[in-house]
Amino acid sequence: MKFPDMPYKRPDYPQVYQDLETLTARLKAAQTAPEQVAVYKEQEQLLSHVSTQATICSIRNTVDTRDAFYEAEQAYHDEQAPLLEEKLQAFHKALVESPLRPELEKELGSLLFLNLEMELKSFSPEIIPLMQEENRLTTEYQKLYASARVPFMGKEMTIAQLGPYKESTDRATRRAALEAEGGFFDENRARFDELYDKLVQNRTQQAKALGFETFVELGALRRQRNCYTPAQAAAFRQQVVQDLVPLTLKLKERQAKRLGISDFKFHDNALKFKDGSATPQGTPEEIMAAGKKMYQELSPETASFIDMMFENDLFDVLAKEGKAPGGYCTGLEDYGYPFIFSNFNGTSGDVDVLTHEAGHAFADYIAGQTVDIHALRCPTMEGAETHSMSMEFLTAPWHHLFFGSLTDKYELSHAEDALLFIPYGCLVDHFQEEMYLHPEYTPQQRNEAWLRLEKLYRPYIDFDGLPFYGRGAGWQRQLHIYLYPFYYIDYCMAQVMSLQVFALSLENAKAAWEKYMSFVRLGGTKTFVDLAHATGLRSPLDEGCVKAVCEAAFQWTEEHLAE
């Protein structure tokens, strides 16, 4: 069924809660493991129906944040989500505490129980009002961000539509675009500061109510860090500072030389070549058509996948007024379909997001065929982001369909950006850790912390007095900091994984694809570290992995530049 034709009906949450109570009672009363497994699968089907309707609502709300009907429906789902979690907790507690657990683990997998135990520790009915308020605040942030109408060059633009001007070959235009963007955030400074302050205080209260010292511990549980600790994440960040940041300084020196600039500034950051960055050669419709051809030729599995996506209109990719910022992939469980949301703006990011989000969508599509248990179809987000970031590199033989004569430019900048992203992602993670360790910080102290960490992770940055960015508030553009706390180190670890896949693809494209498919087919049946090792890859947490992988990728950029 095509997405526009999918009916939306508000779930009958009171009936859902009653059904969950009945299922919980049946689970407790069941005398055999097969009976309990059957009840568990009924619960997954019930949740699938609720999730599908909630996701249809969420997609339509982000496609047009001005739609009053879906805005109200989203607010209702936001209110109900913590109540649903309360009912689920009772079911999960009964499952985890079952005397038949050893037999259940053989059927459902021990990892499911480990993940459920983490969920149980991260929720209590007493924090429901706080969770409801948190949902309202994050929705308000998205709506505020999406409301941007930035006057620039005689037009009104969204933040996404400013993207091409930040990559202009004219230096004054690049700076002016950033000034215009910063103007929106400066005009709404008090509201952005207030929303984040409320979110930090709210999440800190949740953590303390659950017996944690800070939200850092609770945040790790909610991100399902089931194979490493916050301390190990900090050690990974330190590896990045020690082994990768020096390479990024060389990358930026090289970029400045290519641009012919001796005083490299933040407004030069997005432009990679003096005669212009590599941009897609065609209309959005032509880019989508190239994407379809690419996936039809990549493999039989991707051909089946992309045909299904186009036949059912499972994309919304054009930037437009009222649309929420960013890009995402989500799943419509009842239909077995993924959905891709983006904001095309005429930059190479349009192709990046097409390959990236399609990597998520493809993995979702394959896991639906290979993993029976819904809860084990998607790995934790480091694994899920490995799906998407690796796909960006595995599709390299088709990049010419998008970039034509600019393909070499794109591939160099894409590899450079992959290396440059990792320290930035660590900066986002480190900043969040400091914010939740210091919930008492004022807006100014938060901005000062961001600027201090910029010097650690991106020492080449000179904001040169830019509004908004110069005062250290640039973090407020990063949706994850508001919406998904601690969801960013995942990208960094996944990028290290993707660079391994990239290196293998250069040696043997067929072997790289087979390794990727092995990783994807496992879904979430293993922890992130175990997924890496099970498919013959190094985990980014393995000693020396960051240094070896990033130096190899850097060397490729050196050689590619010399060609």
Q: CATH number of the domain that 400 lies in?
A: 1.10.1370.30
> Which residues contact residue 2 at a Cβ distance below 8 angstroms, ignoring those fewer than 6 apart?
311, 312, 313
Q: Which of 78, 112, 146 is at the close of a domain?
A: 112
DSSP for 361-378? HHHHHHHHHH-SSGGGTS
Task: Classify residue 347: in a domain, yes or no.
Answer: no
> Does 103 share its domain with 243?
no
Per-10-residue mean pLDDT, the chain, length 563: 97 97 98 97 97 98 95 95 93 97 96 96 94 95 91 90 92 96 96 98 98 97 95 96 98 95 95 91 92 96 97 93 89 95 87 90 95 95 96 96 94 95 98 98 98 98 95 96 96 98 96 97 97 96 96 94 58
Q: Is residue 133 part of a domain?
A: no
Looking at 53, 82, 112, the residue that finishes a domain is 112
The answer to whether residue 84 is domain-embedded is yes
Return phi, psi of residue 152, to 5°: -155, 125
CA-based nearest residue to 361, from 339, 379, 342, 380: 339
User: Do both 541 and 413 map to the same domain?
Assistant: yes
Does residue 385 fall inside a structural domain? yes
In a domain, 525, yes or no: yes
Q: Are residues 101 and 229 in the same domain?
A: no
Contact criterion met (CB below 8 Å) for 94 and 27:
yes
Let me know if residue 137 belongs to a domain.
no
How many whole angstroms separate alpha carbon 339 and alpha carbon 337?
Answer: 7
- Its domain, for residue 397, covers 224-279+380-563
Q: Are residues 91 and 231 in the same domain?
A: no
Strand partners, 329: 340
Structural contact between residues 244 and 544, judged by C-beta atoms closer than 8 angstroms:
no
| pLDDT of the residue at 398 | 96
In a domain, 295, yes or no: no
How many other C-beta atoms can be found within 10 angstroms of the C-beta atom of residue 558?
11
Look at residue 147 and tell me if it is in a domain: no
Question: What's the CA angle centered on 389, arms 501 and 291, to 5 degrees?
Answer: 105
Same domain? For 389 and 262 the reply is: yes
Residue 558 three-state SS: helix
Asked whether the CA dihedral 303, 308, 314, 318 is positive or negative, the reply is positive
104, 231: one domain: no
Task: Identify the helix (H) or strand (E) that includes residue 342.
Answer: strand 337-344
Q: Output the DSSP codes for 370-419.
A: H-SSGGGTS--HHHHHHHHHHHHHHTGGGTHHHHGGGHHHHHHHHHHHHH
- How far is Cα of residue 442 from the mean position of the Cα atoms in its chain? 28
Which of these three, 112, 130, 158, is where a domain ends? 112
pTM value is: 0.92
Hey, how many other C-beta atoms are within 10 angstroms of the C-beta on 286? Answer: 13
> Cβ contacts of residue 283 below 8 Å, gap of 6+?
none
Q: In the prediction, which pLDDT does 562 show? A: 54
Domain count along the chain: 2
